[in-house]
Amino acid sequence: MLSKLKVKLFSRFDIKLTVFYTFALLLISLILSSFFYYRLEHNLLKQIDRMLKDEAKELILEIEEDNHIVKGCKEFFGDISHREFYPVFFRVMTHDGVTLWTSEYFSTILSKGIKEREHFTVTVDYRKKKRYRIYETRFSFKDQGVFVAQLAINTKRSDKILETSLENIFTAIPVVFLLSICCGMYIAQKPRKILRNITAVTRRITSQNLAERLSLPPGQDEIRDLTLTINFMLDNIESSFNEIRQFTADVSHELRNPLSAVKGEIEVAVSRERNATDYRETLHNCLERIDDIIKMVNDLFIISRFDAKKYDLKLSRINLAGLLKEMYVFFLPIAREKNIHFFIKRCDTVFASVDRHKILQLLSNLMDNAVKFTPENQSITLSLIEHSHEAELKVSDSGIGIPETDLEDIFKRFYQVDPSRSGDERGAGLGLHICKRIAEVHGGSISAKRNKIKGVTFTVILPLK
Ligand SMILES: Nc1ncnc2c1ncn2[C@@H]1O[C@H](COP(=O)(O)OP(=O)(O)O)[C@@H](O)[C@H]1O
Ligand SMILES: [Mg+2]
């Protein structure tokens, strides 16, 4: 039961923090109090020692003035005997310890004899804690040799000061203890509340409920930074989830169309008896649709490889002019068949380190579109220009063009300007997205611009290094 409570309490962040604060504060207060206490004790003793030294000087002066040791002592005793504040006791001895004069009480403070120490403290009555500070000094008097004077002062007053300060310390420490607990709990409440809020909100967030965000705490501290970071992370997760949802919806939508068409063709074919030519035509149509599906699945596979950062780039240093000419030769009969003027406007010799297969795929996607969206008697031109650090490849046509508002979006996956424009040759809207990904893995870029009169120009920039 007790250990359970202990575990529960110490699993709380604010309590842990408070205990830590309190012990740290207590330790600091103890160290500081001890330091100040010992400084005070040291200073008080020093003050008494100074007083004793002055009194000793007075005594020796008196002896010298009276020119007699006992007389001088008596005179000095007369001067000091009325003192209430720090009363002084003393005795004077020959250098071999024979007492010449002593205050009545001195023998109870210190037994006979010379101690050979300048300053020291003796405790007379342990129960009453009576302590005396002693000062021992030697002086020579006339030609009678060396004498020893011992003076004592009761340390009662300084002991009282020390006692009071010790009492103050012991009263202050529990107050500090209580105050630090209260302050610690109060200070730790704020981060605890915020952490609890973070936990509660993040627990509520599931794939079905990604829109929720943490409320921002006031101030500009690390907790605000943490909240902002979590919200930013949630934004990213939400947009990734939405992208995946959209992707799945687009794929199923794009697959449904050709599959429904195939199904429709077959249903019509089997609805009644037909001749061999009809069946061949149905099979031919189905084959075309299936080709579309295969193309789309292939495109999706390529995109998924890019998403997984598995580019399989096989870089080699090749002349891009060769690739451009290859494209030209391949598409020339197709263009001719559609009565499209097709020519190369400019073709510099540019060597670059690229994946030959991927750049061919990029150019072929652009050419596919150009042929698809350029009507009879219009033209398609290719060009390759070398700049200082990059190669500029252009595929330009004078076809139906792309509205200005769609230019930014055409590189997004599944984006189609208006599916009805493609007629029978409808694609899935993946070709330009693949072009963009290919240009990007080469460290380049792709952009589209409307031509002044008609048509559109696609520009691919590839870095030379
Ligand atoms: N040369 C072009 N002329 C006009 N429209 C184009 C051209 N190239 C692309 N588009 C438009 O951009 C859209 C996206 O092209 P793309 O990604 O290749 O998809 P699709 O699979 O439909 O060919 C097309 O639907 C088309 O409307
Ligand atoms: Mg296309």
Q: 428 CB under 6 A from ligand 1?
A: yes
Q: Tell me if domain 222-306 and domain 311-463 are identical in fold.
A: no
Ligand nearest, relative to CA of residue 420: 1
Q: Among 251, 331, 361, 369, name the best residue to mutate to test ligand 1's pocket (greatest count of ligand atoms within 8 A of Cβ).
A: 369
- For 217, the token pair is 């705490």
Q: 429 CB under 6 A from ligand 1?
A: yes
Given CATH 3.40.50.1980, say whether it is the number of domain 311-463: no
Which pTM was predicted? 0.62
Span from the CA of 31 to the centroid of ligand 2 (angstroms): 79
Q: 432 CB under 6 A from ligand 1?
A: yes
Please tell me what DSSP assigns to residue 425: G
Ligand nearest, relative to CA of residue 458: 1
Is the CB of residue 393 less than 8 Å from the CB of residue 459? yes
Span from the CA of 80 to the centroid of ligand 2 (angstroms): 118
Ligand 1 atom 4: the closest Cα is on which residue? 401
Q: 444 CB under 6 A from ligand 1?
A: no
Q: How far, in whole angstroms, is CA 95 from its chain's centroid?
A: 77
Q: Among 410, 420, 425, name the best residue to mutate to test ligand 1's pocket (greatest count of ligand atoms within 8 A of Cβ).
A: 410
- CATH code that applies to domain 2-165: 3.30.450.20
Q: pLDDT tens track of the chain, all 465 residues?
A: 667 666 666 677 778 888 888 888 889 989 999 999 999 999 999 999 999 999 999 999 999 999 999 999 999 999 888 877 788 999 999 988 899 999 888 888 888 788 888 998 888 876 777 889 999 999 998 888 899 999 999 888 888 999 999 999 989 888 988 988 888 888 888 778 888 888 888 888 887 788 888 888 777 788 888 889 989 999 999 998 988 888 888 888 888 888 998 999 999 988 888 888 989 999 999 999 899 899 999 999 999 899 888 888 899 999 999 999 999 999 999 999 999 999 999 999 999 999 999 999 999 999 999 999 999 999 999 999 999 999 999 999 999 999 999 998 999 988 888 767 666 666 788 999 999 999 999 999 999 999 999 999 999 999 997
Count of C-beta atoms within a 10 Å radius of residue 301: 10
Which residues, other chains included, contact 217 with Cβ-Cβ below 8 Å and sequence gap of 6+? 194, 223, 224, 227
- CATH code that applies to domain 222-306: 1.10.287.130
Span from the CA of 419 to the centroid of ligand 1 (angstroms): 9
- Taking the alpha carbons of 401, 335, 342, 427 in that order, is the dihedral positive or negative? positive
The domains of the chain are located at 2-165, 222-306, 311-463
Ligand nearest, relative to CA of residue 411: 1
Q: How far, in whole angstroms, is CA 407 from its chain's centroid?
A: 39
Ligand 1 atom 18: the closest Cα is on which residue? 431
Ligand nearest, relative to CA of residue 370: 1
